[in-house]
Structure 1
C-alpha cells in the first residue's frame, strides 16, 4: 500500500521542561476565550467574561470595567460586576471606595508595568483588607489590565474566598489569558467608541451613558445599580438626565432610539 503522506510522521511537540501551566490550565484559558469570542457588543463581552472567570477560576466576585484610560476605568467604574452582594456594594460605595488600593496611582503604575497584580502588591497597609474585605469573606484580590491602545482599556478585578490568596498558578494563567484577550477586547472597545461617537450629540457623562444603555436593554433600576456599584436613587437621577437629553418620554422610547443605527 502506498503512503498518502511523504516524509516521516510528525511527532506532537511536548510541553517544555518546567512548563508552569498544566493541561488543565490551558483548558481554563480556552474555556474563557470560547465564552467571550462571539460576544455581540462590549456589554455582552464584559458579562460573559465575568461569568467565565467565575466558572473556570471559581472567583467569588468579578468586575470588568472599561474606559479610555486605566485611571478612568477604575475611577468611573463603568462596566459590569457579578458575585457581590447588594450589602457589600452599598458598603463599598458609602465607606470604602476612596480607600480601594486598586484605584490608586500606585496600582495603575504596577498594572501598567505587570499587567496582573495582587492586593498585597498594591496595598501599602492592611486596613482595607482587614476592616472591609475579610468581614465579607474575601481573602484576596487580583487586578488585570487589558490595554487595547487607542481603543481604550479593560480593568478586571477578581476576588477570592476560601483560599488565603490568589494562587501563583492562577496568576500565571491570568497573565497568559490577558495576552489572548487583548485583541478581542480591542475590537469590542473600538466598536463601542464608534457607537458613542455616532451619538455624540447626546451630552451624557460616561456614567449616564452606561445607565441609559442598560435601561435600553430592559434592566430594572435595581439591576442597573447592582451592576454599576451605585444606588437606585443615583440610577434614577442618571436615567432622568439621559431621558431629558435624548428627548425620550419613557424607557420604551429610549430602547427604540438605542436600537436605531
Structure 2
C-alpha cells in the first residue's frame, strides 16, 4: 500500500512459535492475517491518513458499512470485513456458533481507540498515565488477534466468558503486551515525538528519570505476568 511496515513474515513466524502442530494451520493463518491487518491499520492511523479520513473510516467500522469510503480507507475496511467473515464462517462450520458480532466489536473497539490516540498525537495532548494505559491496552489489539484463533482452536471455549478466568487472562495479556511494547519502543517514539508511557510517567513524577520510568513499567509488567500465571 506504499506506507506500511513490511512484517508479513514476522507475523506468520510469530504465529507459528506458540502454535506449531500441522493441524493448526488455519489458526496460524487467522493470527497472522489479523496481525498484518493490525499493522496496516495502525500505521494508517499513526502516519498516513488525514484526521478526516480516520474519522470516516472509524465511523464506517462502527456501523460496519463501507459505503462512501475510497482509497486506502476502502481497502482496509473491505479487507477487515473479508477477514471477519472468513473467520466467522470457519467457526460456524466447526461449532455451529455465529461469532460475527463479537469479532466485529473487537475491531470496532480497536479503531475507536486508534482514532483517540491519533487525536491525542495531533493535538499534542498528554493524557494521564491511567487513561493512556487503558486506551493502550485496547489499541494493542490482542483481543482481535488471538481470541478468534482461540475459538477455532478450542471448540469447547466458553461462548460467554464474561466474569470467568478467560476474561481475566485476556485482560492481563493485553496489559502485558502493551507494557512490553512501551519498554521496547520508548526510545524510538521519544525521538519521533510520539506518546509513550515512559516520558508520561516522568512528567507526572518530576523526581523520576527515564531509568526510573522504565523500572516502574517493568515492575507493573512482572505483576501482570505473575497474576496471569496464577490463573493457569
Q: What TM-score comes out, normalization by structure 1 length?
A: 0.35
**Which of the pair is proportionally richer in strand?**
1
**Which of the pair is proportionally richer in helix?**
2
